[in-house]
């Protein structure tokens, strides 16, 4: 499965980060340097407090944000939200998503979307 694209998103399964400290790691190829907006599609079953599924998002070992589950899930409980912004140079970068150890519910992530266009919001 392709993990990241900035010309569309990918996701046909999900990553299940159950225990604090579990992580997913992906290389990201950037063609043009600049500011990028990082979106994540994740699950919110509405059965846990808002911050129960919090993950940290890092690019090249630099934290760009921490984000709980989406606050506006669709009817299937999956939803997109903006998780952070980052300045990236052309070339290969490393994305790491790590589940916080202090949160009780598993983080379920379906897709990531990285875009240089702030108006380019992914759709359900």
What b/e readout covers 79-112, taking b as 16+ CB neighbours within 10 angstroms? Answer: bbbbbbebebeeeebebbbbbbeebebbbbbbbb
pLDDT tens by residue, 47-58: 888 788 899 999
Residues in the chain predicted with pLDDT less than 70, given as ranges, are: 1-13, 124
Please report, for the chain, the start and end positions of each structural domain, with discontinuous segments joined by +: 15-115
The pLDDT score that the predictor gives to residue 6 is 32
Domain 15-115: CATH superfamily is: Galactose-binding domain-like (2.60.120.260)
The pLDDT score that the predictor gives to residue 33 is 96
Contact criterion met (CB below 8 Å) for 105 and 53: yes
């Amino acid at each position: 499965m392709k993990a990241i694209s900035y010309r569309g998103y990918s996701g046909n399964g999900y990553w299940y980060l159950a225990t604090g400290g579990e992580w997913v790691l992906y290389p990201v190829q950037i063609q043009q340097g600049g500011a990028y907006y990082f979106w994540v599609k994740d699950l919110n079953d509405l059965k846990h407090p808002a911050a129960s599924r919090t993950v940290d998002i890092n690019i090249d070992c630099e934290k760009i944000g921490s984000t709980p589950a989406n606050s506006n899930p669709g009817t299937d409980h999956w939803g997109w939200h903006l998780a952070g912004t980052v300045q990236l140079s052309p070339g290969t970068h490393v994305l790491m998503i790590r589940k916080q150890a202090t949160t009780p519910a598993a983080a379920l992530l379906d897709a990531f979307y990285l875009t240089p266009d702030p108006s380019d919001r992914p759709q359900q």
